[in-house]
Structure 1
Amino acid sequence: MPTVTGLQVDQAFCERLFADLLSFSRDEPGVTRAAYGAGEERAHAVMRDAGLALGLRPEVDAAGNLFLTLPGRDPDLPCWMVGSHVDTVPHGGNFDGAAGVIGGLAAVAALRQSGLVPARPVTVAVFRAEESVWFPASYIGSRAAFGLLPAEVLDLPRADSGRSLAAHMRDLGLRPEAVSGGAAHLSADRIHGFLEMHIEQGPTLDAAEIPVGLVTAISGSVRYREAACFGRYGHSGAVRRSERSDAVFALADLIAGLDAVWGELEAADRPATVTFGEVSTDPSLHAFAKIPGEVRFCLDMRSTEPAVLDAVESALADLVARIEAARGVRFALGARTGSTPARMSAGLVAALGRHADRLGLAYRTMISGAGHDTAVLAGQGVPSTMVFVRNQNGSHNPDEAMRIEDLCAAATLVAHLVAEA
């Protein structure tokens, strides 16, 4: 096929859809679109209406994932799929997730505007419940789309309501029983490739003054969401150091120990992150002049390399045993959850790089420290990658920022790829 030229993404189209989302999901100081809640549901309706206006064919699966398809010249060919999610963390920003859906629709709109009909269908996917802050499970929507969601996940309570995922699905007229039974809407052999545009969630691209990044790997994780350390309460002035079982000092030892492990991995150029996102003593029992006998915490460990995750988890077990013996405390890490690292398609990264070079678009290759639905598709054998868009203020916060022209550049890159392959 001859090289496609002249595809133009409409910036006003993108701006209008972001404004539509903001109009109903503002929740000062940011925006909130809860997974399987009113905000996510309305956002799906906005994307569906935008797709219908472009002449796309809508489909909704048992879990509520939305798929909007532009027919290709040969409808029997496996499709290109682009997309992301539209749920947010509480009081988050308007761009995380939504940029990938709006960018996907904008890429399709550019194809329609040019009068170009691609060889194969192009589907814009709008996945449900990517943000695991609402339900303690990763990639709920995209896993359900492949029939991979374990039945027990349907019983998990939503963080704000306490009601089960299944109950929230039923509220929206969806079919949790089919999800529980493994009903699959997607099949890897029917997807030619998957592309997810997403704001970068760190400062790398903005600091380098580069508009887009091509992702080579997505981190997996090991998580303990409800961990605790138990010691003994005592008087702060009456118990000598050798006789204490101080839960906070014990946790401090664990934090310092894992930080040292992380430093060693970083020095060896082995990617990892370690985060203790929540730490708290019991407000009904703690006091100024009291040795803390209990501290609760959560722990999130990530890497793009399975062997690194194994090493960090082994170090965690060793540290826990040594600290328990030294401090006279007991750790209870609770349920372990996590996700598997995913390698992106080197072929897709290279193809996007060639298009970027031809279009004069500066880019760099990079890894994603955060998890994304793309990992699920890659794990199913779908050739997949992500296009990061530079972002001035991180993500999962009210100050998320993104230049619309940078998203348009990313969407233009994606539009050229799907038009020519």
Structure 2
Amino acid sequence: MNAAFPAEALGRAVAATRGLVDGLFNTLREATPGHPGITRPPYGEGEEFAHRLLADRARELGLEVRQDAALNTYVTLPGRDRAARALMTGSHLDSVPQGGNFDGAAGVVAGLAALVAIREAVGVPPQDLTVMAIRAEESVWFQVSYIGSRSAFGILPEGVLDSAKRIDSGRSLAEHMAELGADVDALRRGQRYLDPARIGGFVELHIEQAPSLLEAGVPLGIATAVPGNFRYPDITISGEQAHVGLPRRFRHDAALAGADFATALDRIWADHEGRGIAMAATIGRFHTDAAIHGMTSVPGRFLMSLDVRAYDAAVLAALEKSVLALVPGIEAARGVRFDLGARASAPVGPAAPAIQAALGRHADAGGIAWQKLGSPASHDAATFAALEVPMGMIFVRNRNGSHNPDEAMEVDDLMHGIAVLAAWMADAP
């Protein structure tokens, strides 16, 4: 830490942003209800409101505001050398259906508060400091990861603008973007707004999504990595619809084939856990076909989704091989056919050691307890890491997990996170 760094003044300036922080959260909660919780669909009314709220408040505070072709919002405190590599923070403003008010939004609110505090305590920083409010992070809606951050770098997957449909509307990503004024043609060309070479570092603040910090009794975590994943959002198992009295040897039961797959997947996970290899596997959808299922029918069609994640690229690749190798045996044993559907993936995002160390030093200097933490969830920070931008994450203690109406982050804990974030942005070389 720079010996001349105004730590005490910055701490007081961060504390003075408490009213700004509370006011933004209250407005977001009241304006984007989900009955219960909150709902801010990507490229929909709730997310758009949140972006307008951020932009309006930032302009009132005298900060620069811009948007890119995908309508990500950027709030900047200009630096003395505007050609220098910028330091960035931020997170997303969309939510899952009936989610909580803090997942994603906490990182954007924290970033805005950090800029206000830095301007008050430090004045003009050496380089630009930018908060990025990111679109469409929650992949549940379009079943594609990191839409906003990938758009900013011009690396959206081929064809996804037209192939990805929002689950509630059935309309394409391109249609939803265009409706709000996004430059879809620029996105089709792969035009980028962000240049990785122009970014000195990116730190994303986020609520924790497993109760690790709650269990440890500390307010903050400093990330070691964001997991990569592979996903098959629309797996279909086809068997043969039949009478409930059909003997087992004649059946082609798609539901039991799905159950075989699920239990075999769980055995793979248990084996990895027993060997100390961190991973997670989730079957989010798991059901018979409602159009034809019934109590007295053998299911001939079964639908499911798959998300598998790990912190090491080699582990992730080996996991996919093992998981896919389950399919032929189940097909043969049950007389069914698997159609895996489209595949999606995201790379592992390792946190930069220098940023981890700097965040830890600033937490220690402020007397804030913390621990190292691997993220259990995917985050836009991984997009930055994949493009070799130095990346870090700060996690804030949160009861009751996330992606539900009962997220219970304490704003006092968030203020500790803002203090560490602001110190990193103000003191980074």
**For residue 177 of structure 1, what is the aligned residue in structure 2?**
185
Letter in 2 for 1:12: G
Q: Tell me the amino acid that sits aligned with residue 75 of structure 2.
A: L
| 3-state SS of 1:88 partner | coil
Aligned counterparts, 1:133-152, within 5 A: 133-152=140-159
In the TM superposition, residue 372 of structure 1 has moved relative to its aligned partner by: 0.7
The aligned residue for residue 161 of structure 2 is 154
Counterpart-to-counterpart distance in 2, 1:36 and 1:331: 33
Q: Which moved more, 1:243-252 or 1:103-112?
A: 243-252
CA distance in 2, matches of 1:283, 1:418: 52
Hey, what does 1:109 align to over in structure 2? 116
* Secondary structure at 1:117 match in 2: coil
Check the 8 A contact 1:26/1:32 in 2, yes or no.
yes
Q: How does 1:189-228 map to 2 (within 5 A)?
A: 189-228=197-236
SS at match of 2:190: coil
Residue 32 of structure 1: aligned partner: 39
Deviates more, 1:397-406 or 1:106-115: 106-115
> Amino acid of the residue matched to residue 79 of structure 1?
A
Distance 1:37 1:328 in 2: 43
| 1:164 alignment counterpart | 172
Confirm whether residue 232 of structure 1 aligns to residue 234 of structure 2: no
Runs ≥4 in structure 1, deviation > 3 angstroms?
Answer: none
1:160 CA drift (Å): 1.4
In the alignment, structure 1 residue 259 sits paired with structure 2 residue 266 = yes
Say which of 82, 86, 97 aligns to 2:93.
86
Measure, in 1, the Cα distance between the counterparts of 2:61 and 2:275.
50
Q: Deviations over 1:207-230 (max 9, x none)?
A: 111101001111111111111112
1:120 pairs with 111, 122, 127, which one? 127
Aligned-pair CA distance for 1:386 = 0.7
Match of 2:60 in 1: 53
Tell me if structure 2 keeps the 8 A contact 1:304–1:369: no
After superposition, residues 246-285 of structure 1 pair within 5 angstroms as 246-285=253-292
Q: Does 1:286 align with 2:288?
A: no
Matched residues in 2 for 1:356 and 1:284: separation? 55
Q: How far is the alpha carbon of 1:161 from its aligned partner?
A: 1.5
> In the alignment, what sits opposite 1:244?
251
- Mapped contact 2:228–2:345 kept (Cα < 8 A): yes
Residue 233 of structure 1: how far off its partner (Å): 2.2
Q: Tell me which of 75, 84, 100 is aligned to 2:82.
A: 75
TM-score with structure 1 length normalisation?
Answer: 0.97
Q: How big is the shift at 1:135?
A: 1.2
Show CA shifts across 1:312-346 (max 9, x none): 21122221111111111111111111111111101
Please say if residues 247 and 329 of structure 1, whose CA atoms lie closer than 8 Å, have aligned partners that are also in contact. yes
> Equivalents in 2 of 1:194, 1:43: separation in Å?
21
Deviation larger for 69-78 or 108-117: 108-117
* Identity across the alignment (%): 46
Q: State the partner residue of 1:363.
A: 370
SS in 2 for 1:26: coil
- Structure 1: distance between partners of 2:119 and 2:230: 43
Secondary structure of the residue that 2:159 maps to in structure 1? helix
Contact residue 14 and residue 102 of structure 1 kept, 8 A: yes
Q: CA deviation at 1:236?
A: 2.2
For residues 291 and 174 of structure 2, the distance between their equivalents in structure 1, rounded to whole angstroms, comes to 34
State how far apart, in whole Å, the 1-side matches of 2:281 and 2:268 are: 9
Gaps in structure 2 of 5+ consecutive residues: none
Partner residue of 1:393? 400
